[in-house]
Amino acid sequence: MKKTQIGNTEFSWGERTYVMGILNVTPDSFSGDGVFVEKNFVQAAVAQAQRFVSEGAHILDVGGESTRPGSEPVSEAEELRRVIPVVRALSQMLQIPISVDTYKANVAREAIAAGAHCINDVWGGTKDAAMYSVAAELRAPIVLMHNSTAGQQVYQDAQLGSRFVGADSKDIVDEVSRELRSLAEAAQAHGVSPKNIILDPGFGFGKTVEQNLELVRRIDELKTLGYPILAGISRKSFVGYTLDLPPSERVEGTLAAAVLCAERGADILRVHDVQAVRRALDLTDAVVREN
């Protein structure tokens, strides 16, 4: 059984489905849960993290820039201003592993210096040429995500939010598989250890509703790549458009997607609703895992 050390925790892939709690240190999160709207945002982030820990999260993911379709990018300085105080406070107060959600190599470096243990890059290391080298130098586990948002058309609905639209003719699972393999090979070519690579198919990032549903249906095919798989399905637009519900009413849909992904072998679920998902996954694991 393959294992990855993240902070003081050893993650044994295949033994159970792990839960990653989302901490958005942003004012414009699509899910409406960003803590940067709070005057004392560090205290707000710590309180949310403590709640996630009590609800059973295995790892926390701290991000300072929204990645929803149409969101405005933030400068490196602003991202550091949001993320570093939160990471530092969490690392001093909690024992849980901390991931930093960023595609900027220097933000990753500074976050790890402040106490983070893992990098979660929604561009798979392709936006910043130094990202792979930073991960290799710091021996940090890194999540490499498939992202095809560049040049894609976005449809906006007042209630349901944004989603990507376009042709569904291509085999999305084949495309994601090929590109994730390429990202993993590129990271290793820069010195990243294979045991420190986690792959993410990138639900919602440049994919239509139908393509996202197909990824859920066939996520087990990505296991043939030989790396742990992270699935970020929480409150995503494909859930909302399938059920005709806004982000605030997508808990049940998220649970269904989480259970389906876990049953098909996903190793980590990145979610907003930690308690509900953890309970659903514990039951799923009791049925499908052979421990």
Where in the sequence numbering do the catalytic residues fall? 236, 270
Residue 75 CA to residue 78 CA, distance in Å, equals: 5
| Residue of 238, 119, 249 whose CA lies nearest to 187 | 119
Contact by Cβ (8 Å): 150, 131: no
Instruction: Provide the token pair at 242.
Output: 């399938």
Which residue matches tokens 């409150």?
Answer: 235
Residue 102 CA to residue 122 CA, distance in Å, equals: 7
Residue 99 CA to residue 105 CA, distance in Å, equals: 14
Exposed/middle/buried for 103, CB within 10 Å: 0-12, 13-18, 19+?
buried
Contact by Cβ (8 Å): 68, 162: yes
Residue 61 CA to residue 47 CA, distance in Å, equals: 14
Q: What are the helix (H) ranges across 22-139?
A: 41-55, 76-93, 105-114, 131-138
Residue 93 CA to residue 114 CA, distance in Å, equals: 13
Tally Cβ neighbours within 10 Å of residue 251: 18
